[in-house]
Amino acid sequence: MEQAQKNPKTFYIRTYGCQMNELDTEIMVGTLENRGLTRTLVENEADLLIYNTCSIRDLAERKVMGKIGQLGRKKEKKALIGVTGCMANAKKDSLFRKLPHIDFVLGTNNIHDLDYVLDEVIATGKQAFKTDDQFTFELDYTKAKRDDKVKAYVSIIRGCDKYCTYCVVPYTRGPEVSRDCLDIVNECKILADQGYREVTLLGQNVNSYGKDKPDMGCLFHDLLYRIDKIEGIDRIRFMTSHPVDITRELMEAVRDLDSLCEFVHFPIQAGSSRILRKMHRIYTYEQYMEKIAMFRKIVPNVALGTDIIVGFPTETEEEFQMTYDALKEIEYSVAFLFAYSARKGTPAMRWKDDVPEEVKQERLHRLMELQEGIYAKQRQQMLGETAEVLVEAATTKDPNLVKGRTRCWKNVVFPGSKDDIGKLVDVKLHSYNNQTLFATPINN
Ligand code: SF4
């Protein structure tokens, strides 16, 4: 027979996956601390364990299933266990069959129900689950408990309507729902008052912002103009984007707004138009390249980021070579490179995963080598230049060195103190290693 559970006093929360999940975790931490619980970083000391999961890759899912499965093999079950995030939406109540020892499942669109679900589990001792298909922006973002004091994530749109054939997001996060622009601007003002200097606007496809709410009269570039006016916010970033929704107005905003950083994620995914069609990316390689050319004409110093998948079903060596050539030609500043893995529930799952794993890995390796060379070349070209760095923290190894990022998202380390944290400092770049540029501050 079920029994009422003890009220938990401490909690441990672990986040898998993307920035959207990190922000959801910050909101859950705030909610739990408001309830009087104390966060612990030691898993086996906590009365409540929450795993905020990711479904984007098979490996990420297997890792978390293994992790939570292990907890079920413990003789004594002490802590309450909750599974939140994309796996909760993708697997719904079947999670209870696979992991019978968990206590609640909360979908990405139900983070605001955490208090309610916890009350239910504690009162009844029964398992509880809540996974809605559509997000309703009932979340109180001011509850978020952020560890970072300089940069903050701000959610502007949830879900995705693009339905790329390899991606689970439209199924795990539901359709696009834009947050009210006044709420977003208000949150940014509050963050500025709290001393935050940089906001990153988050969504699966931020460029679609506002299209689902035509009455609001605020598209993505309009929102950027509004946030740019907020005193104290020195930098605006956003992620992630779909190339189709990157408009001329957005490019002009990157050129014209002082606080909007000249770094834009512009994911190509593949260099072959046939593969792009099979991925349902709704642009051809030629259309993509035209947009890149337009962007570089409007903002000559724009730095671009990308995601690429190699070994998509039916990809030939020749088609892979097109991706390789695109990477070489475009010279992205940041590239996230992946080998394809089929995701349950996606259209691509129905196709034979016919590129052998060793071929995928070999193609991935070739792309990585190419990109490493591009990174090194870009860093080399920056030597002797000056850059503006927003200082985020002292380095862990040496308190007399501080680290931060340039507007174009390059990591920089230079001599400084904790008084520099949160400030914009002009530096001269003099050397680099694999990940980082080293610099000397310029005393104005
Ligand atoms: S646009 Fe991005 S989030 Fe949306 S389906 Fe495609 S890959 Fe997934």
Q: What is the pLDDT of residue 374?
A: 96
β pairing state of 386-394 and 424-432: antiparallel
Span from the CA of 160 to the centroid of ligand 1 (angstroms): 6
Give the pair of three-digit tokens for residue 393: 């923290």
End position of a domain, from candidates 338, 357, 382? 382
CB 294 within 8 A of CB 251: yes
CB 134 within 8 A of CB 171: no
What CATH number did the domain enclosing 111 receive? 3.40.50.12160
164 CA distance to ligand 1 middle (Å): 6
Task: Report the nearest-CA residue for atom 8 of ligand 1.
Answer: 167
Q: Rounded distance, CA 225 to CA 256, Å?
A: 9
The answer to whether residue 4 sits within a structural domain is: no
Residue 70 confidence (pLDDT): 82
In the reported structure, the alpha carbon of residue 204 is separated from the centroid of ligand 1 by a whole-number distance in angstroms of: 7
119 and 164 in a single domain? The answer is no
Residues 387 and 377 grouped into a single domain: no
* Residue 139 located in a structural domain: no
User: Which of 19, 55, 160, 283, when mutated, tests ligand 1's pocket best, judged by the most ligand atoms within 8 Å of its CB?
Assistant: 160
Give me the CATH number covering residue 276.
3.30.750.200
Indicate which atom in ligand 1 lies nearest the CA of residue 160.
Answer: 4
Confirm whether pTM is higher than 0.85. Answer: yes
CA of 305 from ligand 1 middle (Å) equals: 15
CA 93 to chain centroid = 26
Pocket of ligand 1 (CB under 6 A): 160, 162-164, 167, 169-170, 204-205, 242
Q: What is the CATH number of the domain that holds 416?
A: 2.40.50.140
Within-domain flag for 137: no
Instruction: Print the domain residue range for 50.
Output: 10-130
Q: Which ligand 1 atom minimizes the distance to the CA of 170? A: 5
Atom of ligand 1 nearest to the CA of 242: 1
- Single residue among 194, 226, 261 that ends a domain in this structure: 261
pLDDT of residue 444: 57
Ligand 1 atom with the smallest distance to the CA of 281 is: 6
Q: How far apart are the first and last CA of the chain?
A: 72
Q: Can you read off the two tokens belonging to residue 291? A: 């947009």
Cα 170 to ligand 1 centre (Å): 7
| Shared domain check, 237 and 204 | yes
- Cis previous bond, 247, omega within 30: no
Q: Report the 3 state secondary structure along 159-212.
A: CCCCCCCCCCHHHHCCCCEECCHHHHHHHHHHHHHCCCCEEEEECCCHHHCCCC
- Ligand 1: residue whose CA is nearest its atom 2: 204
Our count of domains for the chain comes to 4
79 part of a folded domain: yes
Question: pLDDT averaged over consecutive 10-residue blocks of the chain (444 residues)?
Answer: 70 90 92 93 91 81 83 75 86 80 88 90 88 76 88 94 92 90 96 96 95 95 98 96 95 97 97 97 97 97 97 97 98 96 90 95 98 94 96 92 96 95 96 92 80
Q: Which pLDDT does position 350 carry in this prediction?
A: 92
Say whether both 253 and 276 belong to one domain: no
What's the 140 CA to ligand 1 centre distance in angstroms? 26
* Residue among 18, 202, 206, 242 whose CB has most ligand 1 atoms within 8 A, to mutate: 242
At 167, which CATH number? 3.30.750.210
* Shared domain check, 301 and 389: no
- Please give the Cα distance from 245 to 350 (Å, whole number): 28
CB contact at 8 A, 355 and 313 = yes
The rounded distance, in Å, linking the Cα atoms of 188 and 333 is 27
Give residue 1's pLDDT.
41
Domain boundary among 231, 261, 291: 261
* Residue entry with tokens 């593949």: 270
